[in-house]
């Protein structure tokens, strides 16, 4: 059994081929990983960064990707403005989205993580609009869920990094790097 942790950079597809590109080819996992027979267990959107688990173990893939297993996934989210306690409590209680109410989450303000890498391109800085980092742990995976949750409480996401999947984290793993577990 092979399982690796990969720190997916911004603007990289969570797949090994680019089937939908009509213009210039987009970066995929194959630009970083050359191991046969492994596949992502879950996805990260192209505009999201961070931890992606890849494996050749179908049971492990199902455990990670299927929401019925309720495996926690922790995100570091840079948002516009500073969320007050009421906004954080709404994230904790569950946010009403178009496809239903999210499961309760853990949410707290954090200082900017020290292990952050530079993003290319960088997040647009606006002098007139402060930003803040929050840590959000969810146990489901609706499409673009974290971005929709923060927008619903009035704090659009500027940068989204998945820090942990279950007990695995990004600790010691630079952007675009991977390691066996």
**pLDDT at site 145:** 94
DSSP 8-state code for residue 84: -
pLDDT for residue 113 is more than 90: yes
Q: Is 31 a catalytic residue?
A: no
* Residue range 43-89, pLDDT digits in tens: 899 999 999 999 999 999 888 887 777 789 999 999 999 999 999 99
In this structure, how many other beta carbons lie within 10 angstroms of the beta carbon of residue 115?
A: 13
Separation of alpha carbons 159 and 136, rounded Å: 13
Indicate the pTM of the whole model: 0.94
Pairing of strands 168-169, 100-101: unpaired
pLDDT above 70: residue 94: yes
Percent share of the chain, pLDDT over 90: 78
107 burial type by CB count under 10 A (0-12 exposed, 13-18 middle, 19+ buried): buried
State the Cα–Cα distance between residues 10 and 27, nearest whole angstrom: 10
Cα 46 from Cα 172, distance rounded (Å): 22
Q: Which residue out of 18, 31, 34, 45 is catalytically annotated?
A: 45
- Domain membership of residue 13 as a residue range: 3-180
pLDDT of residue 66: 78
CA count, 13 A, side-chain hemisphere, 125: 3
**β-bridge partners, 100:** 97
Kindly give the pairing relationship between strand 178-180 and strand 39-40. unpaired
H/E stretch holding 88 reads helix 85-93
Q: What is the pLDDT of residue 79?
A: 97
CA atoms of 150 and 134, how far apart (whole Å): 10
Percent of the residues in the chain that have a pLDDT greater than 70, as a whole number: 99
Please spell the DSSP secondary structure of 89-142, one letter per residue. Answer: HHHHH--EETTEEPPP-EEEEEPPPTTPPPPSSPPPP-TTS-EEEEEEEES---
Supply the pLDDT for residue 21: 62
Task: List pLDDT tens digits, range 1-58.
Answer: 999 999 999 999 999 998 766 777 899 999 999 999 999 998 899 999 999 999 999 9
pLDDT, the chain, mean: 93
Of 99 and 126, more confident: 99
Give the whole-angstrom CA distance, residue 5 versus residue 173: 8
Predicted confidence at residue 116, as pLDDT, reads 93
Q: Which residues contact 75 (CB under 8 A, 6 or more apart)?
A: 50, 135, 136, 137, 138, 146, 160, 161, 162, 163
* Banded pLDDT at 159 (limits 50, 70, 90): very high
pLDDT at 121: 86
How many folded domains does the chain comprise? Answer: 1
pLDDT at position 141 over 90: no
CATH value at residue 106: 3.30.70.1560
pLDDT(151) > 90: yes
């Amino acid at each position: 059994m092979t399982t690796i942790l990969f720190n997916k950079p911004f603007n990289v597809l969570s797949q090994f081929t680019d089937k939908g590109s009509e213009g210039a080819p987009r970066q995929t996992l194959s630009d970083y990983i050359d191991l046969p027979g492994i596949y992502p267990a879950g996805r990260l959107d192209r505009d999201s960064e961070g931890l992606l688990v890849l494996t050749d173990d179908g049971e492990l893939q199902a455990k990670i990707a299927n929401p019925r297993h309720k495996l926690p996934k922790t995100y570091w989210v840079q948002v516009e403005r500073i969320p007050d306690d009421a906004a954080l409590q709404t994230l904790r209680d569950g946010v009403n989205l178009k496809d239903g109410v999210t499961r309760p989450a853990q949410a707290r303000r954090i200082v900017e993580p020290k292990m952050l890498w530079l993003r290319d391109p960088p997040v647009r800085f606006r002098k007139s609009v402060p930003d803040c980092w929050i840590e959000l742990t969810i146990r489901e995976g609706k499409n673009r869920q974290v971005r929709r949750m923060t927008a619903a409480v009035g704090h659009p996401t500027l940068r989204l990094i998945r820090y942990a999947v279950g007990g695995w984290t990004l600790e010691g793993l630079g952007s675009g790097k991977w390691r066996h577990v």
